[in-house]
Amino acid sequence: MTTPPPTVDLHSEGEHATLVLGGSWRLQQRLPRLVQAERMLDRAPGATQLGFDTSALTDWDSGLVTFIAGLNQLCERRGIACQAEGLPAGLRKLLTLARSVPQTGRGGHATRPAPSFVARVGTDAMDLMQSTGEIMEFFGEGALAFRRFLLGRARFKQSDLWVIMQEAGADALPIVGLVSFLVGMILGYIGEQQLKQFGAQIYVADLVGLATVIQMGALVTAIVLAGRTGAAFAARIGTMQVNEEIDALRTLGIPPMEFLVLPRMLALIAMTPLLAVYANLLGILGGAFVGTVVGGLTLSAYMTQTQLAIGWNHIIQGLIAATVYGAIVAASGCLRGMQCGRSAAAVGEATTSAVVTAIVFIVIAAAVLTIIFDAVGLS
């Protein structure tokens, strides 16, 4: 047996109109739209009273309630009085309940106007000031924590430091190695194609070696670490913030700055240069692969040329840069984690923000360091 489809019809006699509802008014059915009722009312212009006839109605649910609620508002606007008596008793109760909701719900929220342009600029400026203040405070506290570390009085667990060093350092070897090798290959290809025109393929070794050791090795390492470790720091500390674990540390008088941030900073400052050395080696190997396979050089010629090109000053530049990048990645991860709000969404924002902050500041630092190295004559 199929359920009868919902029907709606309007009988009008002068002032008095009756809406005849029939069939099954359920959400699964194709329900009549409110405009249909509106059109019917248009065809009965003289009506001032609307009654209901539900004798043919077999069953109903929220579908009918919302239809009638909409109809009520429609009638109110047209100055038609609805006589609810003809409706099922349960439906009348639900209608009263639904009508009482918007009145209580229309508290302070909906009426608040959108802030003007000036107000938005002002709020943004104040937010910026506040976040600058927070960042300053973070670095101030960080410096104090570092001083206590140097005096041997910092409160953190040695075992934490080793675990973080392993997670951030040793565990990152495969990905750092792969990316560095490929970047070395890319540099090698570009160099090989250009230098081939002059018969100077051997200088691929100089190009790849210098680019990698001075900048690319450290940069690739730092960007991999920002995505891998910086994000993990922010998520870890952010989640601790959500779970009140940071509060628990604070109430026990254990400064989170020393217990959580310091070991992470130390671990990355120590591990990033080491990873960068490894990245340099793999980058040069990537270049050598292209130089020998595509460029037809011998491996020993390539390596000798690389040795001639790279000086200690280049290696030192790369390592200083790597140390700075490591500190930037750790600081942005921890800062965004500590600033994290108390919800799952806030942890997501903190993680995103940690990676973005780290990469922006790495690139800025790369530019500044290049200028400094040039000024002090390292390059």
Partner 1 sequence: MSTTDDKPAEQPHIRLDGVSLGYGDTLVQQGLSFDIRRGDVFVIMGGSGCGKSTVMRCLTGLLPPWSGRVLLGGESLWELPSAQRSACMRRNGVMYQSGALWSSMTLEENICLPLEQYTRLAPEQIRAIAEYKLALVGLAGYGDYYPSEISGGMRKRVGVARAMALDPDTLYFDEPSAGLDPLSARRLDELILELRDSLGTTMVVITHELDSIFTIADDAVFLDAETKTMLATGNPRELRDHSSVPQVRAFLTRGEVSADAAA
Q: How far is the CB of 376 from partner 1 (least distance, A)?
A: 40
- CA 73 from chain centre, in angstroms, equals 43
- Taking CB under 8 A as the rule, does residue 368 contact partner 1? no
The amino acid occupying position 266 is: L
Tell me whether residue 224 or residue 249 sits nearer to partner 1 (CB atom): 249
Tell me whether residue 249 or residue 266 sits nearer to partner 1 (CB atom): 249
Tell me whether residue 144 or residue 363 sits nearer to partner 1 (CB atom): 144
Say how far apart CA 304 and CA 301 lie, in whole Å. Answer: 5
Q: How far is the CB of 139 from partner 1 (least distance, A)?
A: 18
Sequence-ordered list of residues with C-beta below 8 angstroms from that of 285, at least 6 positions apart, any chain: 181, 184
DSSP 185-215: HHHHHHHHHHHHTTT-GGGHHHHHHHHIIII
Tell me whether residue 252 or residue 375 sits nearer to partner 1 (CB atom): 252
Count, in order, helices (H) and strands (E) of the chain.
15, 4
Read off the tokens for 228.
Answer: 């891998």
CA angle 270, 274, 275 (to 5 degrees): 110
Q: How far is CA 96 from CA 52, 87, 92, in A?
A: 17, 13, 6
Say how far apart CA 364 and CA 132 lie, in whole Å. Answer: 18
Tell me whether residue 199 or residue 253 sits nearer to partner 1 (CB atom): 253
Q: Using an 8 Å Cβ cutoff, are 229 and 333 in contact?
A: yes
- CA 190 from chain centre, in angstroms, equals 34
Q: How far is the CB of 174 from partner 1 (least distance, A)?
A: 24
Q: How far is the CB of 255 from partner 1 (least distance, A)?
A: 8
Of the residues 16, 155, 196, 228, which one makes contact with partner 1 according to CB under 8 A: 155
Q: How far is the CB of 240 from partner 1 (least distance, A)?
A: 8
Among 217-225, 238-246, 280-288, 304-312, the segment contacting partner 1 (CB under 8 A): 238-246
Q: Using an 8 Å Cβ cutoff, are 229 and 268 in contact?
A: yes
The amino acid occupying position 219 is: L
Tell me whether residue 144 or residue 270 sits nearer to partner 1 (CB atom): 144
Q: How far is the CB of 268 from partner 1 (least distance, A)?
A: 18
Among 144-152, 200-208, 216-224, 237-245, the segment contacting partner 1 (CB under 8 A): 237-245
Tell me whether residue 27 or residue 248 sits nearer to partner 1 (CB atom): 248
Which position has the token pair 């405070």?
A: 137
Footprint (CB under 8 A) of partner 1, residues 240-279: 240, 243-245, 247-254
Tell me whether residue 53 or residue 245 sits nearer to partner 1 (CB atom): 245
Q: How far is the CB of 73 from partner 1 (least distance, A)?
A: 29
Total binding residues toward partner 1, as defined by CB under 8 A: 15
Q: How far is the CB of 243 from partner 1 (least distance, A)?
A: 6
- CA 287 from chain centre, in angstroms, equals 35
Q: Is 23 helix (H, G, I), strand (E, B) or coil?
A: strand
Read off the tokens for 106.
Answer: 């229309």
Q: Pattern of binders to partner 1 over 33-52, x per CB under 8 A?
A: --------------------
Q: How far is the CB of 246 from partner 1 (least distance, A)?
A: 9
Tell me whether residue 195 or residue 254 sits nearer to partner 1 (CB atom): 254
Footprint (CB under 8 A) of partner 1, residues 189-208: none
Q: Is 22 helix (H, G, I), strand (E, B) or coil?
A: strand
Site residues for partner 1 per CB under 8 A: 155, 157, 239-240, 243-245, 247-254
